[in-house]
Amino acid sequence: MRQEKKTVTKLNSNYMQQYEVYQERQKRRKKHLKGRLILLAIVVLFIAGSMTTYHIKQQKMREAKVEKYEQLEEQMTALKKEEKDLKEEIQLLNDDDYLLDLARTNYFFSKKGEIIFKPDKEDSSY
């Protein structure tokens, strides 16, 4: 089998010229379309990246605020307990019997005719 070289002659008609111009226009349109799609993809990726970064920053900030809130809750609980204890102490200090008992215990005050013995804490042989 012999391979024959076929040659096709190009016709120079008005229709062919218009068709070639049409094909060139289609190639340019495809090229511009690809460029616009690539630009759109870059913009979408940039926006998605920005939103992801913003979301991560917000999440970290929220975690920090939740942690600080928990610390403040614990501090408030401790302060409320301290306030309750102080109010109880104020009520006790307003009671005369408690004050007398406190003075007798801490400052060794005595009633009339009562003798207070103070034992040595260092020398206890029993």
**What mean pLDDT comes out for the span 53-71?**
98
**Average pLDDT score over the chain:** 88
pLDDT at 125 over 70: no
- Residue 11: band (very low, low, confident or very high) from pLDDT cuts 50, 70, 90: low
Dump strand ranges (E) for 5-120: none
Which residue has tokens 């111009």? 21
